[in-house]
Amino acid sequence: MPLWIKGLKVNEKQNIIFSWSQLKACFNDLNGKILYRYKKLTTYEDYITDLIVSEKYKYFVTSTFSGSVIVWKLQRKKEMIHSFNAHTKSVTSLQEIPDQPTLFLSASNDNTIRIFSLDKFTELYSFILPAGVTNINLLSEKIFAFFYNDQIKIGKLHHLALSFHSSNIEVKQIKKMFRNSDQKEKNTADTVMTLFSDNSVHLQSSDRVDSKMISTIYPPPTAKNVVFLGYCMNLDRIFLMLVSGTICVYRINQAETAILEKMLQSNMIKDAIGKVLNQNITSICFAATIPPKFDVDIYNEASLSNAKVMNEKY
């Protein structure tokens, strides 16, 4: 273990003890045997503030005084995988999310708690706390403690970071999520999607007895306004469209967690002949039929009456 330990955690499930000093990290088994030892993970001016381990990917993640969150490969040779630089001030705490092993949380003195993905190496969401909040400590994936107005307070992460103030979030859209054609015909969806004004989406069971929360979708931090929410039954994907015309596609894994699969800009979408769209998308509709390969005339009442007039005239 480092000579001057700044932090230490025990993970009985992984049979590991990990500790760190300003620049170093050490991993021991529960019997004290050294498994891995790393030096010079940062600098003296930018020391390590917290550390977590990802069992799924065999990574360990360190946070620093300057605000960096760095992902390392848990192996004998030191190897940096990725660096998240979203925080602007010291990162005070890191936290795994047990039921979503691809994600983790970080808290910072920049008044934010952020969600990062180890699958895509992207920031998924940012909870904004009021100015003046300092020394945020993530006690679990849902509960956090912080210092405010000379008092220690407790907060809870929901679709917003709720703490000492109440907040009524406006509901923008509610959609039924039909998983198969039988549900759609009977209008009996087992899941309801709710879009809130903060752009988060709740997936909730429609069971009247046990209306439990299934998952929460956090759009990209750059998302200013979500204007469309929909579920495509055939693709088993959730679609969010931003006011910019960007389409975010989410897949649902076996743990019922919605994960951002891709982001489609307007200039990335092509028509049947491969021509790129030159206008912003304003709406989305899921069609049950395959679009024609070639352009066809629109057949409606207006076109039909025009055709009759033309035939009578000529």
| Three-state DSSP string of 105-148 | EEEECCCEEEEEECCCCEEEEEEECCCCCEEEEECCCCEEEEEE
Read out DSSP for 200-231? Answer: -EEEEE--SS---EEEEE---TT---EEEEEE
Domain extent listing, the chain: 7-162, 169-314
Decide if 101 contacts 195 (C-beta within 8 A).
no
Question: Would you call 35 helix, strand, or coil by DSSP?
Answer: strand
Class of domain 7-162: mainly beta
Residues paired with 229 in a beta bridge: 240
For tokens 């381990």, what's the residue?
53
- 247: phi then psi, degrees, rounded to nearest 5: -110, 125
Query: Which residues are within 8 A (CB) of 177 and not within 5 positions of it... i.e. 6 or more apart?
Result: 189, 190, 191, 192, 193, 203, 231
Judged on CB neighbours under 10 Å (0-12, 13-18, 19+), 219 is: buried
Task: Say how many C-beta atoms besides its own lie within 10 A of residue 308's C-beta.
Answer: 9
Written as six digits, the tokens of 159 are: 């679709």
Residue 1: other Cβ atoms inside 10 A: 18
Q: One digit per residue, pLDDT tens: the chain, 314 residues?
A: 445 788 999 988 888 999 999 999 999 999 889 999 999 999 988 999 999 999 999 999 999 999 999 999 999 999 999 999 999 999 999 999 888 899 999 999 999 999 999 998 999 888 888 888 888 999 888 888 888 887 778 888 865 555 443 345 677 888 888 888 888 877 788 888 888 887 888 888 876 555 677 788 877 766 778 888 989 888 889 999 888 888 889 988 766 677 888 888 877 777 667 777 777 777 788 776 665 555 544 444 454 455 554 455 44
d(CA 281, CA 290): 20
